[in-house]
Amino acid sequence: MTAPILLTGFQPFGDHAVNPTALLMERLAGEPGIVTAVLPVEYDACGAAFAALLEEHQPAAALCFGLAAGSEYIKIERLAWNRDESEQADNAGVVRTDDAIEPDGPTAYGSTLPVPTLVRELAIAGLPVTFSDHAGGFVCNHLFYRARHLIETADLDIPMGFVHLPPLPEQVADQPGRSGLTLDQQERALRVLVGLLRQGLGIAA
């Protein structure tokens, strides 16, 4: 049996009553060759949940998604930084303004996905996309770093990366000059990315 591709999103958090990444996981749940999960927006719990998913499913690749509330673009993240540095509390009420994620870990890990290819193909599909070298200092970056650290230290051959998605149109309706990205468009982006991962891994759709 072919190993699945693991996709994760996050629960709602802070002032965001809806997290489009959680809705996308619901849309793709149960599809052949895909495992989806919605992770808690908590520093410690998200990494533990990802580790449990790796152990249970032994995926061929992993792609994690988070909400970038201030962005109008799909952002393919290139680097995960070894730092929690946000004034915002996670869903457990924890605030970390200057903490190493792994005290003995490297300063950063790079995505092991073909970022230029992902950006190019999403652009060809007519979607607003860019790359980013900073996934923020909140739980998204924390998960990205913890996941890459776990894969590296366990010597696992699992391509892994992180993608930030913009808010939905209804989430920015009261913000002049912003349009957001519909859930259908975001789902199309996910399917393009999954298709590219399957192609790179030699997995039939």
142 is catalytic: no
Mutual angle of helices 43-57 and 139-153, in 10-degree steps? 40
Cα 64–Cα 84–Cα 182 angle in degrees, nearest 5: 35
Phi first, then psi: what are they for 80, rounded to 5°? Answer: -110, 125
Distance CA(178)–CA(72), nearest Å, equals 7
Distance CA(130)–CA(29), nearest Å, equals 26
Spot the catalytic one: 46, 64, 140, 142: 140
| β partners of residue 58 | none
SS3 of residue 38 by DSSP: strand
| β partners of residue 99 | 84
140 is catalytic: yes
Token digits for 174? 């009261």
SS3 of residue 72 by DSSP: coil
> For the chain, what is the radius of gyration of the CA atoms?
16
Q: How many CA atoms lie within 13 A of 37 on its CB side?
A: 23
77 is catalytic: yes
Spot the catalytic one: 77, 121, 142, 149: 77
SS3 of residue 12 by DSSP: coil
Residues forming the active site: 77, 140, 164
